[in-house]
């Protein structure tokens, strides 16, 4: 990753959230009205590409995937009543700039991505609606939990931790090291983690999307590294004191009415969201 530049995957994700409101029809899975202003001059070009080619499996699938997982996770933030929200691999996430406040948001990501995001935020004149803390971390080399503690995360109050679009890019050792650090959080803390399925558990649409997506991320220098089955995921989390409460695919991540559509967005079996709580 080049200094001063964000993850290109983070850029593509933000573009998909921005394009969703322009390209896709109602009902919208997520109303991210900040993504387009955040992208600034890049927005017109990228959204235009989605507008011209939005029915392509890779573009439509990315819009479905990114908006459904954000909908699910942000709903959990609201329902949990957590006063601390940790976003591991925050990228160009805009929750802190759309939320109603009342929650302290810790954005954890690579220093290069955070540097670019600050530049984009300043250029767009965007300010958070509550308190946001930027925590620079290289997940393959640094301890994110030590960095979070230094940044002011309160270990005595439960936190909701989201880990979306990250684990597949990490080695199994890095995933385990990050999960191990959850033990430092207060009992009752919650994790929402996205993981990608191996080929045997995907449907035809998921296989087709995976073929396009794997090539795209590899060309960006961010190849997929780790795939997990639901059973492997549950055992992995249990080994770090986490009890799985829910494990859902895209179809069940949002209300059923969201998939009653006349556009290109469809649920497919490729990514899943697991929600787990920390119990001692």
114-161 pLDDT per residue, tens: 999 999 999 999 999 989 999 999 877 888 999 999 999 999 999 999
pTM: 0.94
Q: How far apart are CA 270 and CA 197, in angstroms?
A: 5
For the chain, residues with pLDDT lower than 70 are 1-7
pLDDT at 2: 46
17, 70 in Cβ contact below 8 A? Answer: yes
Cβ count near 223 (within 10 Å): 12
C-alpha angle with apex 201: 197 to 203, nearest 5 degrees? Answer: 105
pLDDT at 5: 54
Q: Give the residue ranges of DSSP H helices in the chain.
A: 8-23, 35-39, 41-53, 57-80, 111-124, 144-151, 172-180, 204-219, 230-238, 250-253
With CA atoms as reference, report the closest residue to 126 among 157, 86, 94, 172: 94
With CA atoms as reference, report the closest residue to 166 among 113, 226, 238: 226
pLDDT at 267: 98
74-97 pLDDT per residue, tens: 999 999 999 999 999 999 999 999
pLDDT at 139: 76
């Amino acid at each position: 990753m080049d200094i001063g530049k964000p993850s290109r995957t983070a850029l593509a994700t933000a573009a998909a959230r921005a394009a969703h409101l322009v390209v896709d029809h109602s009902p919208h899975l997520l109303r991210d009205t900040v993504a387009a202003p955040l992208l600034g001059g890049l927005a017109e070009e990228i959204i235009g590409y989605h507008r011209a080619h939005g029915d392509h499996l890779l573009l439509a699938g990315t819009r479905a995937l990114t908006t459904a997982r954000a909908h699910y996770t942000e709903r959990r933030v609201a329902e949990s009543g957590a006063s601390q929200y940790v976003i591991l691999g925050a990228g160009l996430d805009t929750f802190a700039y759309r939320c109603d406040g009342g929650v302290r948001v810790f954005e954890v990501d690579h220093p290069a991505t955070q540097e670019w995001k600050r530049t984009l935020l300043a250029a767009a004149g965007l300010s958070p609606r509550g308190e946001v803390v930027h925590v620079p971390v290289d997940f393959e080399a640094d301890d994110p939990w030590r960095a979070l503690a230094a940044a002011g995360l309160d270990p005595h109050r439960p936190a909701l931790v989201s880990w979306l679009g990250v684990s597949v890019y990490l080695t199994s050792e890095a995933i385990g090291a990050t999960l191990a650090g959850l033990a430092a959080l207060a009992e009752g803390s919650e994790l929402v983690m996205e993981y990608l399925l191996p080929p045997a558990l995907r449907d035809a649409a998921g296989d087709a999307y995976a073929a396009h997506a794997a090539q795209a991320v590899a060309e960006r220098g961010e190849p997929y590294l780790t795939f997990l089955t639901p059973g492997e995921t549950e055992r992995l989390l249990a080994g770090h004191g986490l009890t799985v409460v829910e494990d859902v695919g895209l179809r069940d991540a949002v209300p059923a009415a969201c998939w009653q559509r006349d556009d290109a967005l469809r649920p497919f079996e490729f990514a899943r969201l697991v929600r787990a709580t920390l119990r001692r």
